[in-house]
């Protein structure tokens, strides 16, 4: 009669073998978790303490990796929706104000900050575009080779803004892939809009 220890001794290596053929992170980790449990049961039944200790350590590590990946997946999904990424960075930004007719920056100025428009309207002269509250702007210039502004931003009415220094933006991109994806989508959409505006002119 085959005992549960024998069954575990066969199932555990089969699960490890299966994990080598899996490409997706979460399924691979789940199979690894199952193999940890099987190896631990086998070790307990066979009295093999080193195997029990090894897989008792690997089990929580694999569980933690699954949790980390799901968190990263959620960040990327939120970033693709846009609003979540903006809400996350606004508390990190300093407040700034500009009067009607005031130029916030000019074309070819150094791109030293990312902005979020809280109140007011801003016009970008070179691309003949206006933006209103709730818009993130100033992102394109920061990622160009010379980090220069691509258009002049002029306040059409009194504006309340939030600003995030370029150094802080670069740090967030490095540590938060979701924020990086948000900026990538924003830059792509902005450049597409600017191209459409130039073609209509």
Reported as a single tens digit per residue, the pLDDT across 175-198 is: 777 777 788 888 888 888 767 766
Q: In what order do the strands lie in the sheet with 153-155?
A: 103-105, 153-155, 122-124, 129-131
Q: What is the pLDDT of residues 56-97, one digit of tens each?
A: 999 999 999 888 888 777 765 665 555 556 777 788 899 999
40: pLDDT strictly greater than 80: yes
Q: Which one of 21-30, 134-143, 152-161 scores highest in mean pLDDT? A: 152-161
Give φ, ψ of 108 to 5 degrees: 80, 0
pLDDT attached to residue 154: 96
Bridge-based pairing state of the strands 129-131 and 159-165:
unpaired
Q: What is the dihedral of CA 155, 157, 158, 161, to 10 degrees?
A: -50
Run of H or E including 10:
helix 4-19
Which backbone phi and psi does 107 adopt, to 5 degrees? Answer: -55, 135
SS3 139: helix
């Amino acid at each position: 009669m085959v005992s549960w220890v024998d069954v575990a001794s066969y199932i555990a290596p089969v699960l490890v073998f299966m994990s080598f053929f899996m490409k997706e992170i979460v399924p691979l980790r789940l199979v690894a978790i199952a193999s940890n449990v099987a190896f631990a049961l086998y070790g307990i039944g066979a009295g093999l303490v080193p195997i029990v200790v090894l897989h008792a350590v690997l089990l929580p590590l694999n569980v933690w990796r699954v949790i980390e990946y799901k968190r990263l997946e959620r960040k990327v999904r939120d970033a693709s929706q846009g609003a979540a990424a903006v809400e996350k960075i606004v508390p990190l930004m300093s407040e700034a104000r500009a009067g009607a007719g005031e130029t916030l920056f000019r074309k070819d100025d150094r791109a030293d900050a990312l902005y979020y428009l809280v109140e007011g309207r801003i016009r970008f002269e070179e691309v003949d575009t206006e933006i209103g509250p709730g818009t993130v702007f100033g992102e394109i210039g920061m990622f160009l080779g010379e980090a220069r502004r691509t258009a002049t931003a002029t306040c059409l009415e009194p504006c309340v803004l939030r600003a995030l220094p370029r150094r802080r933006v670069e740090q967030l991109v490095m540590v938060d892939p979701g924020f990086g994806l948000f900026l990538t989508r924003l830059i792509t959409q902005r450049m597409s809009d600017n191209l459409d505006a130039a073609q209509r002119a």
